[in-house]
Amino acid sequence: MLPPDAMEKLHLSLSWDCNENCRFCLKKAPAQQVNRPLPLRDCLAMLKRARAAGCRRVSLDGGEPALRSDLPQIIKSALLLGYRKIDVMTNGTRFADPALVRLLASLSPAIRRRLFFCVSLHARKAAVSDALTRRPGGHALTVAGIRKLLAAGFTVSVSHVITKPAYKDLPAFAEFVLKDLKGVSEVVFSHIYPVIHSLPAVRRLYPRFSDARPFLDAAVARLGKGKVAVDLGNAEMLPVCLTGGREAFFVEAFLHNSVAAVTYDRNKLDTGDSRKLESMPLASDQFGERNKVKGPACRRCLLAPVCGGVWKFYAELYGFRELRPYGREFFSRLKVRGAAAAVGVSGDMPPAAAARRAMAQALAARLKGRRVRFVFPRSFDKKAAAGLLSFAAEIGAVKAQGKGQ
């Protein structure tokens, strides 16, 4: 049975400082009073608190976390605290310095296996990349950093934000990764988060989904043939129907981003100048409700309960013509095979959120040709349970209901 959710991941932003200035950056200009790196003692205290609260993974970002000279100490502390996975989100430029890579490579092999680097590289062509990051020479440094991390034996993935200047080059970008960055384990494609402070830039850089999709499909296919994993990192931010027949990416991203995650970041979005753990704002239903809108076709879509629609600004730019509702005929084409998958409905989340997560789990099973049975906690909200069971019936899932333990 799929277990109920527990506190899973800490997102820890270490600093405002960055040596690039991406046009689509998620972060807004810092308030003067908080424009300083998080002190080391606070970093270590937050890691300890989150671990005690049950967090098993930590993501270190910035700014650019590798600008901190104490990054190796922070990483080592997280590893010794028992975090199962430490992700370093970086633009990779500092890792062009072999001394920094050697310092991290001195960690024991057993510990290093839990350390992962996700490096941002948003174009194959240096001129396009440097224009997007506003860092002359940045592309060359990032590529050099990736190669040095790979040569040192670290697990490296590449994060690529899809933009108007570069989307037609996505198949060639995939080829570049396979031939020039051999050893990269995964490429994570994502669309820009339309945060309010960068909306003018986002409007200029955000391609129409249907325009970018054929090029993305070709890139995904090429990477698949090359045995490199692919993820659509924020696919749940798209309408399901615009994933181009890759509904599984939507479900995977939805489930990944709906785990209990917390953040300590005084600078990101609206989390303010706090010193407490806060829920990840981008993963909240409230964030989607404020920033998304549904079109007329969504009213006829069976997947409307798990799909947030499109960004409001996207609807203003491109309208709703691309949206295609899912009907029963789509699911009738999916053959049923194997035993029903048991899906545990969380009793540790608000009922509506727990039901939506269980809907996504049911959809994941249905896409694989399996039916589901739900295991509810005792005294689960009747309205939320009824909505969940109705959704399962509409997509052809078994309505069998078990009782919680």
The domain in which residue 356 lies consists of 328-403
Please say whether the beta carbons of 190 and 232 come within 8 A: yes
Q: Are residues 111 and 243 in the same domain?
A: yes
137 with 194, same domain: the answer is yes
Q: Judge whether 320 lies within some domain.
A: no
Q: Angle at Cα 60 formed by Cα 160 and Cα 196, nearest 5°?
A: 60
Residues belonging to the chain: 405
Given a contact cutoff of 8 angstroms between Cβ atoms, the answer to whether 269 and 195 are in contact is yes
Residue 375 and residue 232 share a domain: no
What is the reported pLDDT for 337? 86
pLDDT value of residue 30: 55
Is residue 51 domain-shared with residue 166, that is, in the same domain? yes
Q: Are residues 276 and 340 in the same domain?
A: no
Asked if 283 and 289 count as a contact pair (C-beta separation under 8 A), the reply is no
CATH at residue 25: 3.20.20.70
Claim to verify: residue 50 and residue 144 sit in the same structural domain: yes
Q: Rounded to 10 degrees, what is the CA torsion of 276, 280, 281, 285?
A: -130
Greatest CA separation found in the chain? 60
Location of structure tokens 């479900």: 251
> Last residue of a domain, which of 293, 318, 348?
293
List b or e across 200-227, with b for residues whose CB sees 16 or more CB atoms inside 10 angstroms: eebeebbbbbeebbebbeebbebbeeee
* Structure-token pair, residue 342: 């048991």
Q: Check: CB of residue 143 under 8 Å from CB of residue 121.
A: yes
Number of domains in the chain: 2
| Counts for the chain of helices (H) and strands (E), in that order | 15, 14
Alpha-carbon distance of 320 to 324, in angstroms, equals 9
- What DSSP line would sit under 366-381, residue for residue? HHTT--EEEEEPTT--
The values of phi and psi at residue 310, to 5°, are: -110, 160
Please return the burial class of 113, using the count of CB atoms within 10 Å of its CB with bins 0-12, 13-18 and 19+. middle
Q: Has residue 333 been placed in a domain?
A: yes
Closest by Cα among 90, 119, 14, 10 to 57: 10
User: Is the separation of the CB atoms in 107 and 79 below 8 Å?
Assistant: yes
Say yes or no: 125 and 274 in one domain: yes
CB 252 within 8 A of CB 208: no
Q: Based on the number of CB atoms within 10 Å of its own CB, is 326 exposed (0-12), middle (13-18) or buried (19 or more)?
A: buried
CB 120 within 8 A of CB 91: yes
Q: Does residue 207 sit in the same domain as residue 81? A: yes
- List Cα–Cα distances, 378 to 259, 349, 403, in angstroms: 21, 13, 7
For residues 175 and 267, state if they share a domain. Answer: yes
User: Residue type for 204, please?
Assistant: R
Q: Using CB atoms within 10 A of its CB, is residue 170 exposed (0-12), middle (13-18) or buried (19+)?
A: buried
| Residue 300 structure tokens | 């006829």
Is 210 contained in some domain?
A: yes
Can you give the pLDDT at residue 257? 66
Note whether residue 75 is domain-resident.
Answer: yes
Same domain as 282, residue 148: yes
SS3 49: helix
CA 368 to chain centre: 22
pLDDT of 235: 62
Contacts with 219 (C-beta within 8 Å, 6 or more apart), sequence order: 170, 171, 173, 174, 187, 189
User: What residues contact residue 171 under an 8 Å CB cut-off, 6+ apart?
Assistant: 215, 218, 219, 222
Instruction: Based on the fold, state whether residues 78 and 195 are members of the same structural domain.
Output: yes
pTM > 0.75: yes or no:
yes
For residues 169 and 271, membership in a common domain is answered with yes
Q: Hey, how many other C-beta atoms are within 10 angstroms of the C-beta on 319?
A: 12
Average pLDDT per consecutive 10 residues, the chain (405 residues; last block may be shorter): 54 89 77 67 92 91 93 94 96 97 89 94 98 98 98 97 97 99 96 72 88 94 97 77 84 69 47 40 62 93 93 90 94 89 90 93 94 93 96 81 44
Give the residue among 84, 91, 94 at the shortest CA–CA distance from 115.
84
Does residue 286 belong to any structural domain of this protein?
yes
Residue 155 lies in a domain: yes
pLDDT at 4: 36
